[in-house]
Chain A
Amino acid sequence: MQALYAQLLVGLINGSFYALLSLGLAVIFGMLNIINFAHGALYMMGAFVAYFLLNLGGINYWFALLLAPIIVGIFGMILERTMLKFLTGLDHLYGLLLTFGIALIVQGVFQNYFGSSGLPYAIPDQLRGGMNLGFMFLPIYRGWVVVFSLVVCLATWYLIEKTQLGAYLRAATENPTLVRAFGINVPRMITLTYGLGVGLAALAGVLSAPINQVRPLMGADLIIVVFAVVVIGGMGSIMGSIITGFALGVIEGLTKYFYPEASNTVVFVLMVLVLLVKPTGLTGRAA
């Protein structure tokens, strides 16, 4: 049973990353009509920024948790202003191709300087050790990742669904021209939205740094799984992305326990099943 709980926890952690990444993809897709293929590379950048902050600037994990998403978010906003902006009105596919190119550039540069092996990032002192829950031993850092990710996901949901700013955002997703006519600076909102989505990816990167090592290709395979998560859940609803992300992580964890050979493929197999049964994805709306 110990092993089962341990795999469930690993599943929840992976689920946190799926949720944070697919949430960002959904928010970006809503505003920019672009599937951000660079999401995995920017997740990796988040982890690397945390690594640099610690090893070059002596800035600890807690500040990195705040600074890395901001730094990567600004990098993302520069990308949006200098490149993505020019794709407005073109076929969706060009957005995918452009961001794929950006991902190759970012990953290639990091691979050149850091190879393919992992760099260690120590767990912060305050989150070391573990707790005995009676039925299992819980490493505190892992528990923290799950709880903190959940809080960030729900805060993002609240921001978009319940606040004034979120209302503008949802309105601009539906009809940007009309929202602009009301005097709201829609291009700036688009830039900020991209920054927000990218920041969420970077945050996931910082969270994963102490668990998975910091590697240039850490986001490359992850992003493909996240795409499958997005196909399963659909990008129509924020809460849908969060729930699907966590649920698939848990299912993956269970598979690792019951049938480890399929743990790499279970998400893709589920995607196939969902497409066969309900082609529009679980949360409905057709794209």
Chain B
Amino acid sequence: MTTLTDDTLRASPRAMRDEMIAFAVMALLLAAVPFTGVYPFFVMQALCFALLACAFNLLIGYGGLLSFGHAMFLGTAGYCSAHALKVWGLPPELGILVGVAAAFALSIVTGYISIRRQGIYFSMITLALSQLLYFIYLQAPFTHGEDGIQGIPQGHMFGVLDLSKPTVLYYVVLAGFLAGFLLIFRIINSPFGEVLKSIRENEQRAISLGYRTDQYKFLAFVLSGTLAGFAGSLKVFVAQNASLTDVHWSMSGEVVLMTLVGGLGTIFGPVVGAFVIIAMQQYLASFGQWVTVIQGSIFVICVLTFRRGVIGEIAHYFRRSL
């Protein structure tokens, strides 16, 4: 069976250097955004989704597990952070902590259940679990059902950073994104990440070498879910609401699409994919449901002709790892 990604080029010192340079360029470009006149709200939103897609990619690109329910972590962390900020009146840093802790707990439970099956079944189980949570949130009183949690106060982070100022908020979101991104980068290049890749390539062989593959997959799932939750908590400050859209299956599908467009199993692909898809939604908002049709078409085109994705194609062309 052909695998999802080719990373024969990885793990050399040169590859590491290329990736560090690319990271520095990305960080500088993003840090310069407030000076360029680009609408910061758009970039912040894209950054949250980029982090979500990177977390999702950790599971599919390096663990070979396609989760079709990552919206559940985004939405759960969003709801819990929003509730902590608005109802409990917690400061932003604790609000984020509550959301991330909730996503962590959720990923332990859902990971324990879904890791029991492989491949296609794993995808169906994660999708079903996220639909289960969708219905729970639809009925639970604290989420306010169809209305969602509105008008969330942004507050002062660590008591000093006024998040109601767009520029301050932008740099806080950027710092959160870069921290999450670096953590994922570190995980991928760790011994743990190498074992994960070996499981993706040939699980039977990894087992025969003495690795308890279920534990590795479970840990990858929990890391991925928790980081996806972090993205959800950050998003609360940007959007100032938490609603059912964030837990719906179509959101899980969008995350898959972002990662596919950017390149499965590439480090920077999910970031590029998130910006492409969010920009597309922004510009095509007036076309109503045609956006769904276009998204579906991109899925079809990517799977049939463009499986490496944008970054994957570039990396392949230059024979570099990105």
Residues of A whose CB lies within 8 Å of any CB of B are 29, 35, 83, 86-87, 89-94, 96-98, 100-109, 111-112, 220-221, 224-225, 227-228, 230-231, 261, 264-265, 268-269, 271-272, 275-276, 279, 287
Q: Are B292 and A111 in contact (CB under 8 A)?
A: yes
**Residues of A contacting B213 in the complex (Cβ-Cβ under 8 angstroms):** none
Query: Is there contact, CB below 8 Å, between B298 and A101?
Result: yes
A98 pairs with B303, CB closer than 8 A: yes
Q: Are A97 and B256 in contact (CB under 8 A)?
A: yes
C-alpha gap A35/B116 in the complex (Å): 18
Report whether B290 and A112 are in contact in the complex, using a CB–CB cutoff of 8 Å.
yes
Complex Cα spacing A111 to B3, Å: 36
Is B161 interfacial (CB 8 A cutoff)? Answer: no
| B residues 96-132 touching A (CB-CB < 8 Å) | 113-114, 116-121, 123-125, 127-129, 131-132
Question: How far, in whole Å, are A98 and B119 apart by their CA atoms in the complex?
Answer: 16
Interface assignment of B136: CB less than 8 Å from any CB of chain A? yes
Q: Does B249 contact A (CB under 8 A)?
A: yes
A25 to B, closest residue via Cβ: B124
6 A-B pairs, CB-CB below 8 angstroms? Answer: A98-B303, A224-B127, A225-B131, A265-B132, A271-B128, A275-B113
**What separation, in Å, do the CA atoms of A224 and B249 have in the docked complex?**
9
Docked pose: A29 CA to B119 CA in angstroms: 13
Is B253 a contact of A104 with CB atoms below 8 Å? yes
CB distance from A75 to the nearest CB of B (A): 15
Which secondary structure dominates chain A's binding surface? helix
Q: Smallest CB-CB separation from B132: which chain A residue?
A: A268
Contact B289 A93 (CB under 8 A): no
- Report the separation of the CA atoms of residues A173 and B129 in the bound assembly, to the nearest whole angstrom: 30
CB-based contact B113/A276 at 8 Å: yes
**Complex: A46 Cα to B33 Cα, angstroms:** 49
B139:A97 contact, CB within 8 angstroms: no
Interface size class of B (residues with CB under 8 A): 35 or more
Residue B293, interface by CB 8 Å: yes
| Least CB distance, B174 to chain A, in whole angstroms | 30
Distance in angstroms from B151 CB to nearest chain A CB is: 27
B120: chain A residues at CB < 8 Å are 29, 35, 92-93, 96, 287
Are A98 and B1 touching (Cβ within 8 A)? no
Known contacts A89-B2, A227-B128, A275-B113, A97 near B303 by CB under 8 Å:
yes
Q: Map CB proximity to A onto B64-83 as digits: 1 under 8 Å, 0 otherwise.
A: 00101000000000000000
> Which B residues are in CB contact (< 8 Å) with A94?
303, 307
Does A224 contact B303, Cβ atoms closer than 8 Å? no
Please measure, in the bound complex, the distance between the C-alpha atom of A92 and the C-alpha atom of B124, giving whole angstroms.
Answer: 12
- Which residues from A are CB-within-8-Å of B209? none
B296, CB-defined interface residue at 8 Å: yes
Chain B min CB distance to A83 (Å): 6
Which residue of chain B lies nearest to A34 when distances are taken between CB atoms in the complex? B120
Q: Does B288 sit within 8 A of A, measured CB to CB? A: yes
The reply to whether the CB of B223 lies closer than 8 angstroms to some CB of chain A is no
Bitwise, B263-275 to A at CB < 8 A (1) or not (0) is 0000000000000
The CA of A96 and the CA of B123, in the complex, are separated in Å by 9
- B300 at the A/B interface (Cβ < 8 Å)? yes
A279 touches B290 (CB 8 A): no
Residue contact A108 to B128, C-beta cutoff 8 Å: no
Cβ–Cβ contact A265 & B135, under 8 A: yes
Say whether A91 contacts B3, CB under 8 Å. Answer: yes
